[in-house]
Amino acid sequence: DVLLDAHAAGLLPERITHNDTKINNVMIDHQTGEGICIMDLDTVMPGLALYDFGDLVRTTTISTAEDEQDTSLVEMRLPMFQALVEGYLSTAKSFLTPAEIGQLAFAGKLITLETGLRFLTDHLNGDLYFKTKRPGHNLDRFRVQARLVESIEKQNDAMQAVVAQAGA
């Protein structure tokens, strides 16, 4: 409700969002290493920029594969979060509201939790939505997301400091 309430109060504007932000959906120039364009546009719709950023946090800062079976290896890598925030805000700071910038760290936790719950729901419903490669695959994915949420919560103060510094 935090983001939806802020949106309803006019603090978080509706924007055009991708809704599947991950490195696999960015075409990279192999000579320069620069991103050329965003792909997989079937999920583009109005939404909150924080949803896209939150999914970037989930997919880029994790220390393991999304379906790692040893959850003791799962953590949010703060240096990756710092690089993500600095890179994102180097451009996005010019158009994001202060409220959006202030919720960047929270967005990572929220979208990670939401995705984890989607994996768990799919597991409980018989693995009908997400493709699986083995029994319990979506349950493992849920456990990884839950562990990532724990790691994000433990590092929240450091994440907020990164955002404050990059957003200044």
* Predicted confidence (pLDDT) at residue 19 exceeds the cutoff of 90: no
Please give the mean pLDDT across all residues of the chain. 95
Does residue 94 register a pLDDT over 90?
yes
User: What pLDDT was estimated at residue 82?
Assistant: 98
Q: How high is the pLDDT of residue 138?
A: 98
Is the confidence at residue 158, as pLDDT, over 90? yes
Q: How many angstroms separate the CA atoms of 115 and 97, rounded?
A: 25
pTM of the complete model: 0.91
pLDDT at 6 over 90: yes
* Residue ranges covered by each domain of the chain: 2-12+49-167
DSSP labels, 67-86: T-S-GGG--B-HHHHHHHHH
Phi first, then psi: give them for residue 37, nearest 5 degrees: -160, 165
Q: What is the pLDDT of residue 35?
A: 86
